Amino acid sequence: MQIVSIPTHPYTDQNPGTSGLRKKVTVFQQPDYLENFVQAIFDSLEDYSGKTLVLGGDGRYFNRPAIQTIIKMAAANGFGELIIGQGGLLSTPAASNLIRKNKAFGGLILSASHNPGGRDEDFGIKYNVSNGGPAPESHTDAFYKRSLTISSYKIAEIEDTDIDRIGSRHIENFKITVIDPVADYAELMQSIFDFGLLKQSIGSGFITLLFDAMHAITGPYAKRILVDMLGATPDSVINAEPLEDFGGHHPDPNLAHAQELAARMFSPTAPTLGAASDGDGDRNMITGSNIFVTPSDSLAIMAANARLIPAYAYGLSGVARSMPTSQAVDRVAASYNIPCYETPTGWKFFGNLLDAGKITLCGEESFGTGSNHVREKDGLWAVLFWLNLIARKRQSVADIVHEHWRKFGRDIYSRHDYEAIESSVANSIVERLRSQLPELPSQAFGEFIVKYADEFSYEDPVDGSVSKNQGIRIGFENGSRIIFRLSGTGTVGATLRIYLEKFEVDASSHDQDAQVSLSELIKLAEQLCEVKKRTGRTEPTVIT
Contact residues: ligand VG1, CB under 6 A: 18-19, 113-114, 278, 282-283, 322, 345-347, 364, 366, 368, 487-489, 497
Nearer to Co ion, 35 or 278 (CB): 278
For helices 295-305 and 379-393, give the axis angle rounded to 10 degrees: 50
Stretch binding Co ion (CB under 5 A), from 81-89, 281-289, 466-474, 477-485: 281-289
Q: Provide the 3-class DSSP secondary structure of residue 536.
A: coil
CB distance 91 to 63 below 8 Å: no
The answer to whether 278 contacts Co ion (rule: CB under 5 A) is yes
Nearest alpha-carbon partner for 304 in 334, 339, 341, 332:
332
HSE value, Cβ hemisphere, 13 Å, CA-based, for 174 = 21
173: number of Cβ within 10 Å: 11
As measured in angstroms, the least distance from the Cβ of 251 to Co ion is 8
Instruction: Tell me the residue number closest to ligand VG1, measured at CB.
Output: 113
Residue 345 binding target from ligand VG1, Co ion, none, CB below 5 to 8 Å by type:
ligand VG1
Tell me the per-residue interface mask from 58 to 97 with Co ion, x by CB under 5 A, - otherwise. ----------------------------------------
Instruction: Give the one entry of Co ion, ligand VG1, none that residue 96 binds, where binding means its C-beta sits below a cut-off of 5 to 8 angstroms depending on kind.
Output: none
Binding range to Co ion, per CB under 5 A, among 148-156, 275-283, 334-342, 405-413:
275-283
Interacting residues with Co ion between 494 and 513 (CB under 5 A) = none
Q: Judging by DSSP bridges, how do beta strands 209-212 and 273-276 pair with one another?
A: parallel
Q: How far is the CB of 22 from ligand VG1 (least distance, A)?
A: 8
Question: Which DSSP helix (H) or strand (E) runs through 273?
Answer: strand 273-276
Q: Which does 19 bind (CB under 5 to 8 A by kind): ligand VG1, Co ion, none?
A: ligand VG1
| CA 448 – CA 86 distance, rounded (Å) | 54
Q: Which residues are catalytic?
A: 113
Longest dimension (CA), the chain: 73
Q: Which does 487 bind (CB under 5 to 8 A by kind): Co ion, ligand VG1, none?
A: ligand VG1
Instruction: With beta carbons less than 8 A apart as the criterion, state whether 410 and 504 touch.
Output: yes
Report DSSP state, residue 17: B
Amino acid (one-letter) located at 66:
A
Q: Which does 18 bind (CB under 5 to 8 A by kind): ligand VG1, Co ion, none?
A: ligand VG1
Q: Shortest Cβ contact with Co ion: which residue?
A: 113
Identity of the residue, 277 or 327, whose beta carbon is nearer to Co ion in the bound complex? 277
Provide the strand spans (E) within 377-463: 410-421, 444-445, 448-455, 458-459
Question: How far apart, in Å, are the Cα atoms of 478 and each of 3, 382, 406, 475, 504?
Answer: 64, 31, 19, 8, 10
Q: Name the 3-class secondary structure at 331.
A: helix
Least separation in angstroms between residue 365's CB and ligand VG1 is 7
The entry of ligand VG1, Co ion, none near residue 517 (CB within 5 to 8 angstroms by kind) is none
Min dist CB 320 to ligand VG1, Å, is 13
**What is the closest distance, in whole angstroms, from the C-beta atom of residue 487 to ligand VG1 in the complex?**
3
CA distance 347 to 337: 24
- What are residue 240's phi and psi, to 5 degrees? -85, -10
Shortest Cβ distance from residue 506 to ligand VG1 (Å)? 30
In the complex, the smallest distance separating the C-beta of residue 505 from ligand VG1, rounded to whole angstroms, is 27
User: Of the candidates 252, 282, 365, 378, which one interacts with Co ion according to CB under 5 A?
Assistant: 282
Phi and psi torsions of 35, nearest 5°? -60, -45
Q: Which is nearer to ligand VG1, 18 or 63 (CB)?
A: 18
User: For residue 333, what is the DSSP state?
Assistant: H
CA distance 510 to 325: 19
Residues 107-126, interacting with Co ion (CB under 5 A): 113
Shortest Å, Cβ 98 to Co ion: 17
Q: Is 252 in the site for Co ion (CB under 5 A)?
A: no
Based on CB atoms, which residue is closest to ligand VG1, 18 or 388?
18
# binding residues, Co ion (CB under 5 A): 5
Among Co ion, ligand VG1, none, partner that 373 touches (CB below 5 to 8 angstroms by kind): none
Q: What are phi and psi of 467, to 5 degrees?
A: -120, 120
Rounded distance, CA 297 to CA 312, Å? 19
Q: Which residues bind Co ion (CB under 5 A)?
A: 113, 278, 280, 282-283
